[in-house]
Amino acid sequence: MTILSTWSPVGTPAGGVPAGLADACLRVGRDLLGTIPERLPAGFRWMLAEEGPDGLPAGPALGWWAGEPLFWRGVDVTLPDARLALFVADLVQDHLTGYAFVQWPECPGHTHPLEPVADAGEAWWRCPASHRKLSPIGLLAGPAPA
């Protein structure tokens, strides 16, 4: 695996990371740090790699890095911005639920997590029971500091 870039959860990556993917990671990173910072791996960073997990050329792969790759999955960096935010939110949610046993993000008043969804222009967290949109991805913990 060839690591192309790593960057902080709410940071700006070095060149070579498509702007839409960088923004999606920033938005999900903001939601993570604003809601469950104590449950995250120490020193985790976003990671963009050149190939998939098995080392075969498969296009770019996005994941987490904490001195070594923690998880990653191939990503289509040509997706529209809202779909990239949905992809990143879904990727992180799957990892937290399946490996860290953390239901994230919590749905207010329910025992299930929120689900990421996207329409033509925006990605949202919504209640899977009522289908009510609760927050744009990136603003779950409130507006970003100025």
pLDDT, one tens digit per residue, over 99-114 is: 888 899 999 999 999 9
pLDDT, one tens digit per residue, over 63-110 is: 998 888 888 888 999 999 999 999 999 999 999 988 888 899 999 999
pLDDT at 52 over 80: no
pLDDT at 50 over 70: yes
pTM, rounded to two decimals: 0.91
pLDDT, one tens digit per residue, over 122-133 is: 999 999 999 999
Q: Annotate the chain with DSSP letters as a single string.
A: --EEEEE-TTS-PPTTS-HHHHHHHHHHHHHHHHH-GGGSPTT-EEEEESS-TTSS--S-EEEEESSSEEEEEE--TTS-HHHHHHHHHHHHHHHHHHHS----SBPTTSSSB-EEEE-SS-EEEE-TTT--EEEETT-TTSSPP-
Residue pair 134/114 in contact by the 8 Å Cβ criterion = yes
Rounded distance, CA 84 to CA 106, Å? Answer: 21
